[in-house]
Amino acid sequence: MKTLDSRTALALLAGCLASAQVGKVPPALAAIRDELGVSLVHAGWIATAINAAAATLGVLIGLVLARIGAQRGLLAGLLFLGLGSALGSAAADGLALILSRACEGAGFVLLVVAAPSLLATAAADNPPRRRRLLSLWSCYMPAGMGLMMAIAPYILEHHGWRGLWSANALAIGMCLLLALSLRGGAERGAGSRPVPVAMFTRARLAQPAPWLMGVCFGCYASIWFMIATWLPSFAVEHMGYTPQHATWLTAIAVGGNILGNLTTDFWLARGVPRWTLLAGVSVMMGAFGWFVFTAGYDPVLRSVAAVFACSVGGLLPAATMGGIPLIARTPPDIAIANGILMQCANIGTFVGVPAIAALATTLGGWDSGRWLIPVLAGIGVAAAWAFRRVELHPAADPIREARAGKLVEQS
């Protein structure tokens, strides 16, 4: 990629397209269920199948990208995303659609692990710019998902859900061609490394900080996607909204997440500890998320709660992603830490969305299923409290010590 600006713009565009593949499903779930005859729980698996690969392969993809380079990972991610969306547009039944979503998931995890590594490497010699780029990157999910949810009703009305899948495949294909045209003469960048990554794999994976931030991210993602995935149908069935108004409500809630992303630096610059942001977001999302799915309250109040929960939640991904360069100094280490973060986040999404649907179905309604939300929030608070010790009293860096030992051996 020829210039820093083109690398940055392409990484951000690719991230938005990746998140759009998540956002295209909630508005289309009703049409998919009608045409393919799938159940509520089955629909939940369709919505989160894209997260299956990331939930199982995040760390492995991080290790692979530490070797082959983030630029190649970005290209491969776009290829798998486009292929999965194209296959999904021709799916004959629910199982075929789930398999196509798994293909999209492979592309998704490749892309979302590679892109922040590219951004961090591009601004490696400028920490303030790197921090701003990673905060901007943390907006990729609400930006792409919110935009897709805003335009999806029009495409669905005129071309159906298969047309929506085809349109996304076309957009991803155009982005892939752009990435290939910018690739000439590029260096390996985020994949380059001065020493073999294998020397430090065990040491990096044993670091508690990425895993603790990952647990916080996973609990956040689970709650956030519960709201974003089920709000369109829930608002129609239980809050009296029309399908179009329910989709717009969800798009506003998802888009509000960007405000949280962009205000994280404001709080950190004023001395608010990172662990406090993680814990505070978990508490607020647990409380307001629980309220959204509680019967007997005014729909307007529950709508405001949904927007607030999704918006304030944006503080957490920006806080975790922005914290990666503080605990992972080199491009390969950043790729591995990104993989840990993405795997934890997608485990939460993959399990949480169908889990609350299963509880609501089994226990007789959303008033019973909603209790999963504060439970997940409590786990997030516990992980944030554990991260407090790491943040206040960081341990010696085993990676640096390993490098020093290797240099001594070679001398």
Domains of the chain: 4-405 (1.20.1250.20)
Residue 380 exposure: Cα atoms within 13 Å on the Cβ side: 34
- Does residue 123 carry a pLDDT above 80? no
∠ at Cα 356 (351, 357), nearest 5°? 105
Q: Is the pLDDT of residue 402 over 70?
A: no
Helices first, then strands: H and E counts in the chain? 18, 0
Q: What DSSP designation does 75 have? A: H
The pLDDT tens digits for 342-377 are 888 888 887 887 788 888 888 878 887 888 899 999
Q: pLDDT, tens digit, for every residue of 208-233? A: 788 899 999 999 999 988 888 888 88
CA–CA gap between residue 106 and residue 99 (Å, rounded): 11
Report how far residue 21's alpha carbon sits from residue 204's, in angstroms, rounded to the nearest whole number: 31
Residues 43-78 have pLDDT tens digits of 777 877 777 777 787 778 877 887 777 788 899 999
